[in-house]
Amino acid sequence: MKKIRDLFSTSNKPHTLDSPYVIAEIGVNHEGNMDLAKRLIDEAQEGGADAVKFQTYKAETIASVNSPAYWDTTKEPTPNQFQLFKKYDKFWKTEFEQLKTYCTCAGIEFISTPFDVESAMFLNDLMEVFKISSSDITNRPFIELIGSFGKPIILSTGASFLYEIEEAVAWIERSGVPLALLHCILNYPTDDANANLAMITDLRLKFPRHIIGYSDHTLPKDMKTLEIAALLGAVILEKHFTHDKTLPGNDHYHAMDKSDLKLFRGNLSRVAKLLGSDRKHPLPSEEPARQNARRSLVAATEIPAGKTIEQSDLTWKRPASGVSPRLLSDIVGKKARRTIVSDEIITWCTLEE
């Protein structure tokens, strides 16, 4: 099982495209049902995720009773954050301990995003890495609390100005823990026109000492969004995960399922093969072309023995078994050792020293 802590310990080493760390964001798509939560863990593992991630909160500590919705209310009609969170805040310490144990048995890493101090405290015993939501990027006391645990932090950067990211990074850096920044657009769902995957490149330039990844809220479609993110250098990929994308409400409608995840893994493996090495050199498979598709200098007409060769005596034709045309200036002015018949390939043996 790939461990995310190992990813941070090798952050300065190049990664291969076909092995980004994929987090299946179950969130609260379990809807408070333990059997469903376990099914989602199993399906994420089967699809090829490296980790599953939940969300740990209580409605009373995450939102005031009058917090307005910021999601697509045609998909999730609940008009109020408090009301929505109240539907899905039944899992707490005991339930997450069970899920942690189940993930270990399933061979997949357990992560959950805490949204308050109490959940952060008990999740600290269950996780090797903390995830901080985009919504908490300006929550300095909470970020500093999590930094005090001494564990790597993954921070989403949705809806943030650069200066806000820089501030949060400074708070985390003072704690001395490794950091990953995830490009994210905080729309549910995110239109393709708003995905702005090129921001991954900007984060890599602005924060070269930290791991850069991507948290995706676009509709899964053909999973090209995650492929492109990986091509742009995203080392961690996170996307909501469900067992049924047709279910109403919450995060089902913009989530991937295990089939999407398998499609992504397969496509990315092929893309990685297509990219291959970043060091330009001829491949062994190209050797026949090097020998037969390249050209040699060839006698354009018969060249008598002893004649001083002029450029007009020569042309260039395939194969490359003779003197290369790049040495034309070295050949002009030499004498023919013997008669060179028309269309004969020029070799060093046909020339006088």
The verdict on 188 and 335 lying in the same domain is: no
- Long-range own/partner contacts, residues 128-136 (CB < 8 A, 24 or more apart): 128/3, 128/4, 128/5, 128/152, 129/4, 129/5, 129/8, 129/153, 129/154, 130/154, 131/53, 131/155, 131/156, 132/156, 134/158, 134/159, 134/160, 134/184, 134/186, 134/215, 135/186
Q: Identify the segments of the chain with pLDDT beneath 70.
A: 10-16, 18, 250
The verdict on 248 and 297 lying in the same domain is: no
The verdict on 170 and 220 lying in the same domain is: yes
Query: What is residue 18's predicted lDDT score, i.e. its pLDDT?
Result: 66
The verdict on 266 and 315 lying in the same domain is: no
Domain boundary among 211, 244, 275: 275
Query: What is residue 11's predicted lDDT score, i.e. its pLDDT?
Result: 54
The verdict on 159 and 76 lying in the same domain is: yes
Domain count, the chain: 2
The verdict on 224 and 75 lying in the same domain is: yes
Query: What is residue 15's predicted lDDT score, i.e. its pLDDT?
Result: 56
Query: What is residue 79's predicted lDDT score, i.e. its pLDDT?
Result: 85
Query: What is residue 69's predicted lDDT score, i.e. its pLDDT?
Result: 80
Domain coverage including residue 147: 4-275
Domain boundary among 241, 275, 309: 275
CATH number at residue 341: 3.90.1210.10
